[in-house]
Amino acid sequence: MANLIRYNDTDVVNDTSRATTSTWTNNTNNLQVAHTSSTQAVFTTATSSGAHFIEIFNEPTSSTTAAVQYAIAYGHRKGSGSLDFTNDTGALGKSASSNIYSQYRQLVFGDETSNFTFNGFVPDDIYVININRSRYKHNLKPGTLDLRLSGSAGGARTIHLTDDSTTTTGSSTITNAGRQFNIVSGSLGTMSGSTLDQVSNTGSYGLFYPDSGFIILNPQALTDTSAIGLTSSVVAHTNAKNHETLKDHISRSGHFIVDSEEKVSSQYYFTRATNSEFNYTTNPSFIDNVGNLNFTSMIDNPTTFITTVGLYNDSGDLVAVAKLSQPVAKDFTKEALIRVKLDY
């Protein structure tokens, strides 16, 4: 093996960038459908998976290419809106909805006592939209959320929901689940109006956690029947199917956009071949069995062609290979500068 040339500190440059792609399967920008599984649409028992959450697919589940895009759940800190796991004394209120509220309270606050607060308003219940982890890269991208909720057919209103990251110029509250932005009426991260109280005395429409991939919606703000007629039932010990009601409002709108963001760390290696270097080849076919050159042109005017750059560690192990798109001619009258990029 030829002698290796060590890079100088100034030859290696580190860079970080962010790549944005659509979140949904097949790089679909707007998820216009909301298919569910018939096997999960069983709400008759308190412990069924459908009582806890509904998975949303991009295609009918009979299709071999159907994939889960996100899940919808309903949580209530007192357990209302879903059946109790048991009617034994002392177990009332322990239900799917209380489990969901407790789960996301733990994720965001790290305890069992804090409650979700929407601009000072503290409702008992929440809706959850959890993007499937395989759908996005590093995190969801703030400022790209465009979720629309529509009422029943016949000219009912549609609410346009986004986060307020553009309005706040990226400023956010930091939680155990990462950054927290408000969900507001508007578009592309910009809030419509001047107050987070989108509906009088009920706080913002929700909270957005792009680093953990989920949305918490405020049912009380969405209960404004003059808007879309989305009302959650908070009757105790009943199978209210509130998360299915939210699914219907998302499905009717046919509009759900949120982009995925990936942090890409790159290292650039500026590989220099000066005029006196790499003008001879180590290819064994260039010499005969006694060491004479087979090609006399290499005696007076040696010319090589650079096709590959190999990167080695301090132990001499080859750890990366860069291939040039076309060979670069090299002789004593030429120098070459090749930029090798490694992405992580």
Question: Does 1 map to a domain?
Answer: no
The CA distance from 26 to 131, in Å, is 15
The CA distance from 165 to 104, in Å, is 22
Question: Does 4 map to a domain?
Answer: no
Sheet strands (E) in 135-245: 139-140, 146-150, 158-163, 173-175, 178-187, 190-191, 206-209, 214-217
- Provide CB contacts within 8 A for 183, sequence distance 6+: 145, 161, 162, 163, 164, 204, 205, 206, 207, 208, 215, 216, 217, 218
Per-residue pLDDT band at 144 (split at 50, 70, 90) = very high
Is the confidence at residue 42, as pLDDT, over 70? Answer: no
Question: Does 331 map to a domain?
Answer: yes
Do 55 and 121 lie in a common domain? yes
- Provide CB contacts within 8 A for 67, sequence distance 6+: 25, 57, 58, 59, 132, 134
Residue at a domain's end among 207, 240, 257? 257
pLDDT, greater one: 95 or 299: 95
Residue 265, beta-bridge partner list = 16
Do 94 and 223 lie in a common domain? yes
The winner for highest mean pLDDT among 85-99, 141-155, 253-267 is: 253-267
Count structural domains, the chain: 2
Do 306 and 226 lie in a common domain? no
- Reading the block at residue 320, the tokens are 């990366």
Per-residue pLDDT band at 89 (split at 50, 70, 90) = very low
- Reading the block at residue 144, the tokens are 């790209």
Do 122 and 161 lie in a common domain? yes
Is the confidence at residue 119, as pLDDT, over 80? Answer: yes
Give the residue-averaged pLDDT of 303-321: 92
Do 245 and 295 lie in a common domain? no
Do 135 and 180 lie in a common domain? yes
pLDDT, greater one: 227 or 205: 205
CB neighbourhood size of 179 (10 A): 19
Do 300 and 231 lie in a common domain? no
User: Is beta strand 178-187 parallel, antiparallel or unpaired with respect to 190-191?
Assistant: antiparallel
Do 169 and 275 lie in a common domain? no
Give the residue-averaged pLDDT of 152-164: 78
Residue at a domain's end among 257, 283, 314? 257
Do 95 and 227 lie in a common domain? yes
Is the confidence at residue 90, as pLDDT, over 60? Answer: no
Question: Does 169 map to a domain?
Answer: yes
Q: For residue 315, give its domain range.
A: 9-16+263-343
Q: DSSP string of 28-87?
A: -SS----B--TTT---SSTTSHHHHEEEEESS-TTSTT--EEEEEEEEETT-TTS-BS--
Residue at a domain's end among 235, 257, 279? 257
pLDDT digits (tens, 9 = 90+) for 11-33: 999 998 888 999 999 999 999 99
DSSP state of 290: T
Per-residue pLDDT band at 71 (split at 50, 70, 90) = very high
- Reading the block at residue 234, the tokens are 């908070």
pLDDT digits (tens, 9 = 90+) for 229-264: 788 888 877 888 999 999 999 999 999 999 999 988
